[in-house]
Amino acid sequence: MVELEKVQQLLAMACPKEIEEITPDKHLISDLEMDSFGLMEVVMAFEDEFGIEIPDRDLRLLDTVEDVLLYLEDKTETGHMPVQAF
């Protein structure tokens, strides 16, 4: 199980917000003020921490902290993301 606290810690290293401000409803770019460099930094941290690979094409799926939690939860359980219907 992916814990919110761990995700908050990793995100806090790459954005200018305090951990308390990093809640599931926050958008990575507009609310947490992450830039492309910060996003890539945190993706590498997620990969190292959870022992997964996050392909560049999956970055579009990570809009909010909740999206990150759900994505990481799925990747650590199944090893891949399901195809999403559009």
Q: What is the pLDDT of residues 7-38, one digit of tens each?
A: 999 999 999 999 999 999 999 999 999 999 99
Instruction: Tell whether 49 is covered by a domain.
Output: yes
What is the pTM assigned to this prediction? 0.85
Q: Which of 70, 58, 76 is nearest to 4 (CA)?
A: 70
Domain CATH code at residue 15? 1.10.1200.10
Instruction: Tell whether 86 is covered by a domain.
Output: no
Give residue 79's pLDDT: 58
Structural domain count of the chain: 1
Cβ-based neighbours of 67, under 8 Å, separated by 6 or more:
61
Give residue 77's pLDDT: 84
Give residue 14's pLDDT: 92
User: Quick check: 13 and 40 in contact, CB under 8 A?
Assistant: no
User: Which of residues 31 and 83 earns the better pLDDT score?
Assistant: 31
pLDDT digits (tens, 9 = 90+) for 38-66: 999 999 999 999 999 999 999 999 999 99
Domain hosting residue 58, numbered range: 4-78
